[in-house]
Amino acid sequence: MLTSRQKHCLQGMGISLWQSRPAGDLSSAAVMAKEVQTAYTDQQDSFEHITTATQSTPADLQPDHNPKQPAKTYDLSNWTGLTQSIEDCQNCTLAQSCTRKVPGKGYQEADLMIIGEAPGHEEDLQGRPFVGRAGQVLDKMLMAIEIDPQQVYVTNILKCRPPQNRDPQTHEVHACSSFLKAQIDLVNPKVIFSVGRISAQNLLQDTSPVGRLRGEQYHLPGTDIPLLVTYHPAYLLRNPIEKAKVWEDLKKLRRLIEHAAD
C-alpha cells in the first residue's frame, strides 16, 4: 500500500485513490484524475505559455533569423565558473529584460535531473527555478514516489525569463545551450525527467506534442542517459484531469531510477 506520505502528496496533487492496491504494487493502475473543481485564472499562471493549444516548432528547429554569437569565452568546467558565466552572460537580449538569472538549484551530484523550459515570474524575482505554484506541484510529484526534492537537480532550457512568458526563440535557446550542456555534464545524472513541451521538443529535437512523447523511454541525444517526458506542473494546474497520466509517468520514473541504481 502507499505510505501515508505518498497519499498526502497525491492528495495535494489532486489525485484521488479509488481502490486499495496490493502491498508494494507501485506500478498498478490505481489512481484516477480528480474532477476539475477550481478554475485557475490565466493571468496568475506564471508559466502561461506552455498551456496553449497550438503546438509550435521547438526553437532549435526553427529558422534562426537573429543569431547571436557568444560575447566571450566562459569557464564551464566547474560549478563556480558555470554559475558565474550564467550571471555574466549577455548572449541575447533576455539578459537585459530579465530581473535575475536563474541557473538551477538542488543537489549537484543527483541521480535525477529535471529540465523545464524557462523561468516564470516568481523564478525571475528569486533567481531560482520552480519556486512558484508549479514548483510546489513538482515537489509533491517527487514526494509521491518517495524522492526527496532536495536530492534532485532542477534547471530550465533558458536561464532568463522571456517577456510575457512567450516561447523561447531560436537564438535564445542557442545562447543557453552551452550552459545546459555543462550542467548535464557536471551533474552526470542517471536519469533526466523532461517536463513540458518546450523542454521535451528541444532536448529530443522532435516536434511531436508532449502527449505523444510521454510514455516512452528515450536517451538524451549523444549520450546514454535515459530520458522520460511528462507534462509541465503548471499545465496540471489548469488541466487536473491529466494528473492520472503524470502519475503513470512518475511510477515509470521511479522504476527507471531504481534500475539505474542497480
Across 5-19, 30-44, 107-121, which has the greatest mean pLDDT? 107-121
- The pLDDT value recorded for residue 5 is 66
Residue type, position 22, single letter: P
pLDDT above 60 for 195: yes
Residues 6+ apart with CB under 8 A from 148: 142
How far, in Å, CA of 102 to CA of 161, rounded? 8
pLDDT above 70 for 38: no
- The pLDDT value recorded for residue 34 is 39
Q: What is the pLDDT of residues 133-186, one digit of tens each?
A: 999 999 999 999 999 999 999 999 999 999 999 999 989 999 999 999 999 999
How far, in Å, CA of 203 to CA of 226, rounded? 12
Q: What mean pLDDT is reported for the chain?
A: 82
Angle between helices 170-187 and 79-88 (to 10 degrees): 170
CB-facing half-sphere around the CA of 42: CA atoms within 13 A: 6
Which domains occur in the chain, in start order? 72-261 (3.40.470.10)
- Name the residue with higher pLDDT: 258 or 44: 258
Phi, psi of 37 (to 5 degrees): -110, -25
- The sign of the CA dihedral 172, 173, 178, 183 is positive
Other Cβ atoms closer than 10 A to 132 = 23
SS3 of 254, please? helix
Least confident of 61-70, 126-135, 154-163, 220-229: 61-70
Other Cβ atoms closer than 10 A to 76 = 17
